């Protein structure tokens, strides 16, 4: 009985690690606003329009008040991440939070807060 419990815990741990690694290993693509993405219903320029009403309250970061903000859009998995900033980010992951998250097929809007 103890061996079965141990085996179950090991299997659950391996499954958790597999799911965690798969979820976090999705590639982040930085997109141009006019990019054309295959096999999706909503294109980046449409996602930006959907996100527009929410950007000020949820996904705007002023780094330098003297420089204009730029709208950035990234694709990760089945979601676009849209944010505005003038911060000179060194990685695309920076643009994932805070962000307005738009599903590529449904257009569903969710918000990603900064950790």
Sign of the four-CA dihedral 24, 76, 113, 107: negative
Judge contact between 76 and 92, C-beta under 8 A. no
Sign of the four-CA dihedral 24, 92, 68, 107: negative
Which tokens is 90 given? 């060194």
The reported pLDDT for the residue numbered 26 is 82
With 90 as the cut, is the pLDDT of residue 18 above it?
no
Q: Considering only CA atoms, which of 83, 81, 93 is closest in space to residue 59?
A: 83
Residues 25-64: pLDDT tens digits?
A: 689 999 999 999 999 999 999 999 999 999 988 888 888 8
> What is each CA distance from 92 to 4, 29, 80, 81, 83, in whole angstroms?
44, 7, 12, 11, 12
The reported pLDDT for the residue numbered 21 is 46
Q: Considering only CA atoms, which of 71, 63, 55, 61 is closest in space to residue 111?
A: 55
Least confident of 7-11, 50-54, 83-87, 90-94: 7-11
Q: What is the pTM of this model?
A: 0.76
């Amino acid at each position: 009985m103890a061996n079965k419990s141990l085996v179950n815990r090991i299997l659950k741990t391996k499954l958790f690690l597999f799911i965690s690694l798969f979820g976090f290993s999705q590639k982040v693509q930085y997109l141009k606003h006019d990019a054309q993405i295959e096999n999706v219903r909503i294109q980046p320029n449409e996602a930006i329009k959907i996100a527009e009403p929410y950007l000020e309250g949820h996904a705007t970061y002023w780094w330098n008040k003297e420089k204009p903000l730029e709208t950035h859009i990234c694709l990760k998995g089945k979601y676009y991440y849209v944010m505005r900033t003038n911060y000179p980010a060194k990685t695309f992951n920076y643009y994932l939070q805070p962000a307005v998250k738009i599903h590529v097929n449904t257009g569903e809007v969710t918000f990603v807060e900064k950790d």
